[in-house]
Structure 1
Amino acid sequence: MTTPDEEPLLDGDEIQGNIVPGFLKPHMAVLALRLDRDHLARMRRWCHEIASKVTTLTTVMRTRRQVRALEHQRAEAKLSALSGQAEPGALGLRDVLGDVRDVWLSVAFSRPALQALLTDDQRDSVAAFTDPAFQLGMAARSTALGDPADPAEQGHHSKWAVCDPDILLVIGADDEGDLGDYLDELRRELADHGFGVVYEELGHKLDAVGSEHFGFQDGVSQPGVRGRYGPDGDFLTPRYVADMAGQRPECWLYGLPGQYLVWPGEFLFGHPGQGSDPLLRGAERLPGPHWSRNGSYLAFRRLRQDVAAFRAFLEESARRLLPWEVTPEKIGADVVGRWPSGAPVARTPGEDIPELGVDRLRNDYFEFGSDARTLVLTDGETTDRDHPDADADPIGLTCPQFAHIRKVNSRTAANDAGGRMASFTRRILRRGLPYGPLYDQDPAADRGLLFLSYQTSIVDQFEFLNRQWMGDSANPRSPGGHDMLVGQNGQPGEHRLRQCAVPTAGGTTLAAPRDFVIPAGGGYFFTPSITALREVLGAPATGR
């Protein structure tokens, strides 16, 4: 059984904080840099200097604890107000979080950038990165992701706004003004060291819920990372299922209910990955040189969203399904697997329930392959409060097999990669935010998602999800169809047509002749530890 002593202690001062636990800020900037290979010494100095400014796991968790304490203070003040012991509104959210105004930095390097920056005695170590996607870059692998092979088509890498830059900087901030001031200073610093900024874009939360441009809450279903940190050995991912008789193994499997805990080696180099059982640690994963420990691969995708095309698809599909009285809203929920609020179709197939959508203790609790039995939580409440727990849905009569959330994570249902829980080794840590204005504010504007994910195998995690599951009509389980939301059909001769069959409408086939999400930039990178950034990439060249 998994106990705190068995989960590895993570070095919080070495791991970049956007890998774990993630910045999760409402404002973000992404900067792509080009190396000047005639002035590498200055750039190595920058690597050495910037190491002390990169935000670590320790820093992020320190703020996370502060925010939790302040939120608890706010809740206590609210109770006091309700009981008449304090004035209503005396302590609002702005007051509680007023002191939390961070600006955080993460930095990652492409394979060619590592090759250029490493000193002569370390340069050959780049070959130890065994992932072919990292070695080749995203443009060379784009058709494997399902991107168009024809340069004339939108989405071809020749049309991207940014393609395989040398370095990617990710900055997260609580305040937009603070982010702007930080960027002004950062640009000056980069110019002084000879870097060229080849791309820059801002991301931002669209609303309080965290919706993306199609109108659905994003980021609900993140894996929990096993591991401990700090002098007290606290869990990196908090546990919300009460450890009591009759609730095992769930209390050892989950962070939040339904949030499966994954061993850190699936995301961090040099740590144990998944074993044959979710509770058992597997072998240490170090698919790179010795100095790659505590690092992670970063996949960046600038994804443009065609909101008009998505809405038109929902309206046309509703007309096709008119005999079954299916609304555009219901089709959208089935395509995503969630209603706009985030409420899962698995728990509320007939209507959106906003209260469930924003309830972190219940909005991700369902299994597909088995009944989700009622659990007692650490606060004494149960998972079935106000709403019944989800029943098993192995063939997709409630939440269709083609739903996006089901295409990327089959949970306890068997899939083409194996039996129950075979998706554990395919999980990724998703970061990123939308860019561009809301559709109703400016329909003609460019908008989409600045997608970021961390993993220890680009091929077996990020690319697998795109190619093998989202872009395939039969996988991870049939009868299914394509991922109609994000997936791309790159199969030769199929003209990029995506299709799905609606089981509750007599198996009626819906088709989308155009993509709603179009690749518009990207690259593959390695995010090093603080020591590797300072002492390996920032080491002075010998003999020069």
Structure 2
Amino acid sequence: MPATSQMHLELEDIQSGVLRPRPSPYAATYIVLRIDDPRQGRQLIGRLTDIVTPAAAAGTTDRDTFVSVALSYEGLKALGVPEASLASFAWEFQQGMTARATALGDLGESAPEFWEKPFGTSQVHLVLIGVAPDEARLEAAIARGRQAFADLTGVVPIWRQDCRAPPDEKEPFGFRDGISHPAVEGSGIPGDNPYEQPLKAGELVLGYEDELGAIAPAPEPAALGRNGTYVVFRKLHQRVAEFRRYLRNNAKDTQDEELLAAKMMGRWRSGAPLALCPLHDDPELGADSTRNNAFLYRQDDSIGYSTPRGSHVRRCNPRDSDVAGVVRLHRMIRRGTAYGPLLPEGVTEDDGAERGLMFAFVGAHLKRQFEFVQSEWINGGDFLGLGDARDPVAGAALGDGSFSIPNKPIPRRLKGLARFVVTRGGEYGFMPSLSGLRWLSNLGGEAT
């Protein structure tokens, strides 16, 4: 399939962080700011307009280094955005992630009352994100962002998370990460699955036709909403030691441990998909970005003998599988960046360190993209005919989870799945276009 079409995306107005995949390897920083003074907050937005990288810069030598900015609903209120405009944002965005906790499965240990502060409060106003191939270029990029609010006493940095690629480019559970990225019509940025038709731009950017042939409602006025998108931030702690213990306690031997891990994830740790190599790992395939995502399910693995239907990657992106719902209506861009020290290989006792992923989800439809996938595909199984079975890796299990591995003549069934991923915090954001940032900076008519 072609990676682009003739439709025109206004790339010079869209933030690069909306469309570009993260570099590999990567270094990233997330900074949360609280806006105490609306005028100074608008000053900051004006300055950031000159720092934020547009998607049109994708062809430059610095295309893998970019700075992005997103605002929460409370942040827009703190800037002084008029009520009529605030009311035009998606209802889920207006409520915020804390209010949506039940729908998202953020219960028990993942409930907002246990989140890392300031998440779960009304103080998360603006998120500044820097991404680069290495720490030197990241520091140079993020320094420009810090300088933008250095003299603004009414804008207060209240939280920071630094992330970086592990040496083997694997996430804390040990799997190669960042493999799947969809093509988007008009972006000029190729996807990594040659069998997947490019998504309509309106699935990811407001103001364009989506997969339904419609244009999604956008915040008003058009100067604010067009070319913007919604973004979901999640800090996810990974219980690596518990995951390893579960595999060891339920496997016949070390080789079977790796097989169980692959079946739960849908890929071998190298990144090689079970759909292409169901019997053994293939590190060469896993490391080959031109091949490790080039597959579909319907013709080769409809029942799930190779890739179980309930596995993590098949739930998050069923591709061409026959499932309840139209898969392309729930596609979005996902990016994960790892934080914290790695747990040494072979260790099965928790050392108390914080480690996991900072996850960002980008899409124009919060409800039918992120929230649908989280509630119906991650924390449910009806769409697969699996009843109430949850995602074996990322689902909200409470020690009572189960996972079925199709096998002849008798399926293999795992029981007693625990919660291996705990939500430490998060928020819904709106990532305006560059013209939207300029509109926000001039709300009160002050010079920036």
TM score, norm. by length of structure 2: 0.90
Cα gap change, 1:267/1:365 in structure 2, threshold over 3 Å: closer, same or farther?
A: same
CA distance in 2, matches of 1:104, 1:344: 30
Q: Residue 430 of structure 2 is aligned with which of 526, 532, 543?
A: 526
CA distance in 2, matches of 1:435, 1:423: 30
Instruction: Report the residue type matching 2:330 in the other structure.
Output: R
> Does 1:406 find its partner at 2:280?
no
1:237-248 counterparts in 2 under 5 A?
A: 237-238=189-190
CA distance in 2, matches of 1:185, 1:154: 37
Preserved CA contact (<8 Å) 1:101 1:174: no
> Does 1:163 find its partner at 2:119?
yes
Instruction: Report the residue type matching 1:284 in the other structure.
Output: I
Offset of 1:317 from its aligned partner? 1.8
> Does 1:365 find its partner at 2:268?
no
Moved more, 343-352 or 497-506: 497-506
Instruction: Report the residue type matching 1:529 in the other structure.
Output: S
Q: Residue 154 of structure 1 is aligned with which of 104, 109, 133?
A: 109
Cα gap change, 1:366/1:116 in structure 2, threshold over 3 Å: closer, same or farther?
A: same
Instruction: Report the residue type matching 1:167 in the other structure.
Output: L
Corresponding residue for residue 8 of structure 2: 9
Corresponding residue for residue 497 of structure 1: 400
Preserved CA contact (<8 Å) 1:12 1:58: yes
Offset of 1:256 from its aligned partner? 3.8
Residue 106 of structure 1: SS of its match in structure 2? strand
Preserved CA contact (<8 Å) 1:342 1:363: yes
CA distance in 1, matches of 2:3, 2:95: 40
Offset of 1:191 from its aligned partner? 3.8
Cα gap change, 1:23/1:347 in structure 2, threshold over 3 Å: closer, same or farther?
A: closer
Cα gap change, 1:480/1:500 in structure 2, threshold over 3 Å: closer, same or farther?
A: farther
Q: Residue 341 of structure 1 is aligned with which of 255, 262, 270?
A: 270
CA distance in 1, matches of 2:3, 2:165: 37
Corresponding residue for residue 423 of structure 1: 327
Moved more, 473-482 or 43-52: 473-482
Preserved CA contact (<8 Å) 1:297 1:458: yes
> Does 1:132 find its partner at 2:91?
yes
Corresponding residue for residue 266 of structure 1: 203
Q: Residue 283 of structure 1 is aligned with which of 214, 239, 246?
A: 214
CA distance in 2, matches of 1:400, 1:182: 42
Cα gap change, 1:543/1:263 in structure 2, threshold over 3 Å: closer, same or farther?
A: closer
1:303-382 counterparts in 2 under 5 A?
A: 303-319=236-252, 327-370=256-299
Residue 166 of structure 2: SS of its match in structure 1? coil
Moved more, 471-480 or 282-291: 471-480
Preserved CA contact (<8 Å) 2:104 2:375: yes
Preserved CA contact (<8 Å) 2:38 2:80: no
CA distance in 2, matches of 1:404, 1:287: 31
Q: Give the number of aligned pairs.
A: 434
1:86-165 counterparts in 2 under 5 A?
A: 103-119=65-81, 122-129=82-89, 131-148=90-107, 153-161=108-116, 162-163=118-119, 165=124
User: Which of these two proteins has the greater Rg computed from alpha carbons?
Assistant: 1
Offset of 1:529 from its aligned partner? 0.4
TM score, norm. by length of structure 1: 0.75
Q: Deviations over 1:93-147 (max 9, x none)?
A: xxxxxxx69742100001121123245xx44112111x22201000111121111
Corresponding residue for residue 207 of structure 1: 167
Residue 407 of structure 1: SS of its match in structure 2? helix
CA distance in 2, matches of 1:184, 1:257: 38
Residue 262 of structure 1: SS of its match in structure 2? coil
CA distance in 2, matches of 1:479, 1:347: 27
Q: Deviations over 1:484-515 (max 9, x none)?
A: 111114xxxxx562211222272342124421
CA distance in 2, matches of 1:451, 1:226: 24
CA distance in 2, matches of 1:9, 1:187: 34
> Does 1:30 find its partner at 2:30?
yes
Moved more, 522-531 or 464-473: 464-473
Preserved CA contact (<8 Å) 2:265 2:312: yes
Corresponding residue for residue 233 of structure 2: 300
Instruction: Report the residue type matching 2:84 in the other structure.
Output: D
Q: Deviations over 1:182-220 (max 9, x none)?
A: 545543542422211111010101134x31011111121
CA distance in 2, matches of 1:367, 1:101: 30
Offset of 1:360 from its aligned partner? 2.0
Corresponding residue for residue 538 of structure 1: 441
Offset of 1:175 from its aligned partner? 2.9
CA distance in 2, matches of 1:141, 1:520: 15
Q: Deviations over 1:341-375 (max 9, x none)?
A: 111101111110011112222211222112xxxxx
What's the RMSD between the two structures over aligned residues?
2.6
Offset of 1:521 from its aligned partner? 1.1
Preserved CA contact (<8 Å) 2:3 2:189: no
Sequence identity, in percent?
A: 31
Preserved CA contact (<8 Å) 1:255 1:261: no
